[in-house]
Amino acid sequence: MRLRCAVLDDFQRVATRLADWSPLADRVDVVPYDTHFADEDALAAALADADIVVTLRERVPFPASLIARLPRLKLLIASGMRNSVIDYAAAEAHQVTVCGTASSSTPPVELTWALLLGLARGIVEESNALRTRGPWQSTVGADLHGRRLGLLGLGKIGGRVAQVGLAFGMEVSAWSQNLTRQRADEVGVRLAGSKEELLAESDFVSVHLALGDRTRGLLGPAELALLKPTAYLVNTSRAAIVDQDALLAALHEGRIAGAGVDVFDTEPLPADHPMRTAPRLLATPHLGYVSQANYATYYGQAVENIQAYLAGSPVRRLP
């Protein structure tokens, strides 16, 4: 019997183009979905006859309730080697094998700087004005050289963001609950004395932390109030690290110069979500990991995972 493999959230319709699925042609039918299933009922209906599911990052939760409604599901493949929205105990109980793929940290580093530079130099506003015969030069760009970049998190992504900041001639400082002076010295940045100190002194703040109990709501109203009125906040990590209502209030009230956001409390973002119309906001639809090389890795290794599973020797198993 042929197996059915559902590929979720293939918005750009590239899943079958950026990887060679031909090794599976004699056993597996690959069915990409280019729309997002917003609720569990719709998802369960779409995946009712799926033996294999390939899901992107952590956009689609697989709780116990959903897994129980997918009796044919035997293999679940997530992009990346960490996924907090899959119930691994439920998967094991229903004999569902869960595997992951490699994921490069380069694309989110690059997008972080695209947002930061776009904010600093008013790129979207100026480009739109030029294309619509609007005013010639309506903004005055914020300088990077000599300004302070504050990083919340100095892991693999934060460390590379720091290196770019140093190349721009910025003063770079970093803070996280586990950050050591040794790590800060390795990257060549200053270890901030506290989260509050980093926020108050920085001209640009960029978030590069994993979401967990200690980081959820890390930047709330009190923390955002510490930012300079000329400061910019960039978040390409997880939306829940920054209190979304507090951020919207700061933007609407002009208490910060602007924010660059790639992550949201609900994804895809609903049509009437206030983030779509917030002032001083440069927003992108969670593009941090979306690049040709990363997608080639995701889907190419998904094929490898399926081959290994069918051979009886699963690879890259999660958790």
- Which are the catalytic amino acids? 238, 267, 286
Whether the ω angle into residue 61 lies within 30 degrees of 0, i.e. cis, is no
Hey, what's the torsion of the CAs at 89, 94, 96, 100, to 10 degrees?
-20
Amino acid, res. 47: L
SS3 212: coil
- On whether the CB atoms of residues 93 and 114 are closer than 8 A, the answer is no
Q: Are 149 and 204 in contact (CB under 8 A)?
A: yes
Residue 74 DSSP class? -
The answer to whether 207 and 242 are in contact (CB under 8 A) is yes
- Inter-axis angle of helices 156-167 and 106-120, nearest 10: 40
The whole-angstrom separation of Cα 311 and Cα 164 is 44
> What is the DSSP code string of 257-310?
SEEEE---SSSSPPTT-GGGT-TTEEE-SS-TT--HHHHHHHHHHHHHHHHHHH
